[in-house]
Amino acid sequence: MNLDTSYLNSDDLLRLISLRQPKKEKPSSLVLGATVTAQAGKLTDIDFTDLRAVLKYSQEILDFETLEANCFDGKFKAKGKVKLQSGGKNQYDADISIGRMSLDHLQNYMDISDSTITGRLTLSGNVTATGGTFEELQKTAKGKIQIRAEKGVLKKYSVLSKIFSLLNVLQLARLKLPDVTTEGMAYNAMTADIAIQEGVLSSDNFFINSDSLQFSSTGKVNMINRKLDLIVGVHPLQSLDFIASKIPVAGWLITDERGKLVTLHFKVGGVWDNPDVSPMPAKSIGRGTLDIFKKIFQLPEKLITDTGDVLLGR
């Protein structure tokens, strides 16, 4: 079958080729190959344009050799299969890629209204999931993805707000830290390799690069109960010679020979709307995690030091 239409609803397509079977009926004996193009339409509850798909259906398994469309102001591509189940709780297994999608459009769809992120998202990876709704798919999703976001703003993020507050307490107010509640923090790039397991996102190399600060974190984010379990490293990029004059004993611990601040570490836990954030001395962090921060920030060994002990007077 070749289908070319100005508008396509995916539910209508499934009805058209009789893929939905009553529970007590035998699986359909239909074998179908199809090329589908549509100028616009809706896939479940996602609006798209410029759809092109090459599909094969047999024994209630829908293989898609090609699935391409524009959505969320970017491009989506996938290759994989769907095992169609009664009740709409289908099983998905797909290699996916996303090209420069709008992050603010995505977060509106995901109903993340308590914080704001803008920029363009690029993503690739493999994901499996089972369900008929976004919530069900989120709870059952498994896989690995690589992400990169560029040229955006992070706003109303409690973790950043509390870390900036602690940096001010630690006598680093002259960093001129952004107000993430009103103006937000602009970033140049955000990258991570992420493992997905039943609603929990894990990464050991999440990294944010901005003009004045670099952030990295290792740990987990539970998307179901919205809880965090992270260790965050912060590496200011500005020259901080003034700190050495105000805290003489910290001069060699805080800055290198170029006057750059070493990493400061924070423990982040609890719910993401109001997380618990506290400074951590390097000696309380595992060697593996310290090595990750050293590699991400491209720091020499001598810069991984217990700055927290000095700054907090312990």
The residue with tokens 């002990």 is 309
> What would the two tokens of residue 128 be?
């499996």
- Which DSSP symbol is given to 260? B
The residue written with tokens 């003009």 in the block is 211
> Where is 101: in which H helix or E strand?
strand 90-102
Model pLDDT for residues 4-27, shown as the tens digit of each residue: 999 999 777 767 655 545 555 565
Give the CB-side neighbour count of residue 51, counting CA atoms within 13 A. 26
Q: pLDDT tens, 27-42? A: 567 888 999 999 999 9
pLDDT at res. 310: 38
Both tokens of 76, joined, read 């989506």
- CA-CA distances (angstroms) from residue 109 to 11, 100, 113, 164, 281? 19, 16, 10, 29, 39
pLDDT at 214: 84
Instruction: Give pLDDT tens digits for 47-92.
Output: 999 999 999 988 889 899 999 999 999 999 999 999 988 777 889 9
Residue 260 phi, psi dihedral angles, 5° rounding: -100, 140
* pLDDT class of 169 with cuts at 50, 70, 90: low
Percent of the chain with pLDDT over 90: 37
Write out pLDDT tens, residues 209-258.
988 788 889 999 998 888 999 999 887 765 444 444 444 434 333 444 45
Q: Give the residue ranges of DSSP H helices in the chain.
A: 10-16, 103-109, 134-140, 158-169, 241-246, 251-254, 287-297, 307-311
Residue 150: pLDDT over 60: yes
Query: What's residue 294's pLDDT?
Result: 60
Contact 164, 212 (CB under 8 A): no
Hey, what amino acid is at 81? K
